[in-house]
Chains A and B, each alone.
Chain A
Amino acid sequence: MSSPEHEKSSPPPGGATSPYRRKAILSFSIFGVFFVFYMGTAVLQTPTFSTLAAIQWFGMPLGLLLSLLIFPVSWALIAIYFRLGR
């Protein structure tokens, strides 16, 4: 594939260990929260845990409720990510 010309950027003065570490902690922590919630809910929605997933919460099965909550939880995590990343 043809490569577009790379924009020339020089590294910031004074080293970059601190920004790198800070961003790594922020990115992987918030993604980790999302991933645990996402995978945990996916595991709940399997035959192995179907009895637990079928418990009624707020008028719907727990597994379905948590699955749908992935969307607003993700939006909240993104808001936190952007806020803390400034």
Chain B
Amino acid sequence: MMSYPLVLAFIVFFVAVTIVVTWLTQKYTKSTSDFYVAGKKVPWVQTGIAMVGSYLSAASFLGCAGDISIFGVDRIWLSIGFFGGYMAVLMLIAGPLRNVGSYTVADALHRRFPDRRIKLVVMITTVVISTFYLVPQMLGAGLLFEMLMGWDFVTVTAALGVLMSLYIIFGGMKATIYNQLIQAMFLFFAMTFITVFGFIMYYSGSLDALLGAMANIVPPGICGKDAAAVAAVQSAVSPAAAVSVSREMLPAAPSALTIGIQTPDLVSQISTVVALVFGTAGLPHILIMFYTVRSASAARKSVTLCIVGLGIFYLCTILLGFILMPQVYPQLVTWIAAGKQGLAKNMAVLQISGKVGGQWLMAVSAAGAVAAILSTSAGLMITVASTISHDFYKSYINPNASERQEVNIAKVTTLVMSVISVVLAVAVKGENVAWLVTLAFGIAASAIFPAMVTTLWWKGLTRQGAIAGMVTGLVVSVLFIVLLLSGVRTFLGLPTAGGPGVFGVTASFIVLLIVSYRTDDRGPEVEEFFALAHKDEEVK
């Protein structure tokens, strides 16, 4: 077991550093442009690295490899999909969005359709997406401290929720570009170091050896459900012996390379990968990083650096998931057998970091994960709080609200969101955090992406079509998620196991198209909007 004072001390130190950096940065923030996009003065290398940091949350660092280590090859699609989502953003969304001068989804839609109902629908969707995105952050934090400190999960998660709210309410800490930069470097370093050294230590750098091991091993998710196999694994003298004895006990069991352990059918797979590839474009906190550079040329370089960095990171998560499965096999099987699914699915990366690099590497990994959780949570909470206070409270309930009243509403919203996310995190504590984030992606893909891409590329979209599409996507996706998490396997003959992706996206597009063809409000200046969105860029 880890020497946790060192890990705890490092986590506290790292969080303190990020607080100081944020405070120092905010001292020099004068305008909303400075606040949102660092005044467009940041060099492209720093922006590229910060883009990586803004995209990576604890779900990517802990959840991707963690889920592969439990179920095998089926779960590599979380890593691939998180990376693939950036392709849709880059090719279909980022350029036109930047050209129209919008930093957010709501701004872009409102620019073409100046109707506050559009903003209301986007606001509601943003709140729902953010809540679903916040739950895995709370879950990851609670499990991390449960594993490291041995504290009760419910108590520690509730305490973290309170601490996080106070951190945001009193500091108003929004993750700055410099925090994202530090976080990216920590997470990237930890992931690549663990992967490369683990690969060399345990497999001598041989891919054949790794694949051979995977072709033989019984995934912990399977072994952990057989009492006799669990007992044999727990009595084994080493991880290698545990892997061998589990195969002897379960000769007919699938291996880590067997397809179908977690992907029951074709439709579920399609639903999952559709959510991942289209969901990124609808996430509230992703697009804004595209505007922190001074020119289109610099933006290209930043994005290229980001895409290469993300690709390397997610490739490492796939490799690491396979590498760590045999090395922490007894612990994973024990956790699953004890009903601690959440620990098994999410904490494997920290376990292997301790084995590869000792206490220091585990401390660095844990600190990086906590920093990612804090910055993602802070960003989400602040986004929702300001949306509720400004776009809803001031617009619809109290148009004469003072700034102080808006701030108070924002603080109350932060507290309410914390409570909701803690309650939901406790309810889903057995789930993998990357999988929960995928569900949030499913809502974004269903509710936001169809309206977003048609706003930017289709002159035939109408205001009524955009609103109808977003509402349809939101309702369908949330319905499927609620059914899935409630254990309902099918709905109207459609499987829920893969999440809402394909159903929500399809329904949203269909409704959007039908309503657009039957209505005619295409926006007051659609030709000018398109001329602006698709203007030729200056080459510098």
Chain A residues in the interface with B (C-beta under 8 A) = 1-12, 15-16, 19-20, 23-24, 27-28, 30-31, 34-35, 38-39, 42-43, 45-48, 50, 53-54, 59-61, 63-64, 67-68, 70-71, 74-75, 77-79, 81-82, 86
B270 touches A1 (CB 8 A): no
Whether A38 contacts B536 by the Cβ 8 Å rule is no
Query: B103-111, B324-332, B432-440: which lies at the A interface?
Result: B103-111
Contact A6 B77 (CB under 8 A): no
Tell me the nearest residue of chain A to B111, going by C-beta. A6
* B442 CB-CB contact with A under 8 Å: no
What are 13 A-B interface contacts by the 8 Å CB criterion?
Answer: A1-B106, A1-B390, A5-B32, A12-B531, A12-B535, A16-B530, A16-B531, A19-B534, A23-B534, A24-B534, A42-B270, A74-B84, A74-B307
User: Quick check: B307 and A75 within 8 Å, CB to CB?
Assistant: yes
Q: List the A side residues contacting B208 at CB < 8 Å.
A: 59
Q: In the complex, are the beta carbons of A46 and B269 less than 8 A apart?
A: yes
Which B residues form the contact surface with A (CB < 8 A)?
32-33, 35-37, 73-74, 76-77, 80, 83-84, 87-88, 90-92, 95-96, 99-104, 106-107, 110-111, 123, 126, 207-208, 211, 257-260, 263-266, 269-270, 273, 277, 300, 303-304, 307-308, 311, 314-315, 318, 383, 386-387, 390-391, 457, 527-528, 530-536, 539
**In the bound complex, CA of A74 to CA of B260 (Å):** 26
Instruction: Tell me if A's interface is mostly helix, strand, loop or mixed.
Output: helix
Task: Decide yes or no: A50 and B91 within 8 Å by CB, A20-B534, A74-B84 being known contacts.
Answer: no
**Interface pair B77/A34, CB less than 8 Å apart:** no
Which of A1, A45, A63, A64 contacts B391, CB < 8 Å?
Answer: A1
**B residues within 8 A CB of A53?**
259
5 A-B pairs besides A4-B32, A19-B536, A81-B91 with CB distance below 8 A are A34-B91, A38-B80, A46-B269, A50-B260, A79-B304
Choose one: B77, B99, B300, B530; the contact of A42 (CB below 8 Å): B77
How far, in angstroms, from A42 to B76 measured CA to CA in the complex? 10
For the complex of A and B, list the 3 residue pairs with the smallest distance between their C-beta atoms, beginning with the closest.
Answer: A16-B531, A11-B531, A47-B260
Asked whether B383 lies within 8 Å of A74 as measured between CB atoms, the reply is: no
Q: Contact: B530 with A78, CB < 8 Å?
A: no
What's the Cα separation between A82 and B207 when bound, in Å? 33
A57 to chain B, nearest CB (A): 12
In angstroms, Cα B265 to Cα A25, docked, is 34
Bound form: Cα–Cα A12–B88 in Å: 26
Tell whether, in the assembled complex, residue A24 and residue B91 are in contact, meaning their CB atoms are under 8 Å apart.
Answer: no
Q: Roughly how many angstroms separate A59 CA and B76 CA in the complex, as a whole number?
A: 18
Query: Which residues from chain A contact B457 at a C-beta distance below 8 Å?
Result: 24, 28
A7 and B269 in contact (CB under 8 A), knowing A19-B534, A19-B536?
no
The residues of B that contact A64 with a CB separation of less than 8 Å are 73, 76, 257
Residues of B contacting A70 in the complex (Cβ-Cβ under 8 angstroms) = 80, 83-84
B-side contacts of A54, CB under 8 Å: 259
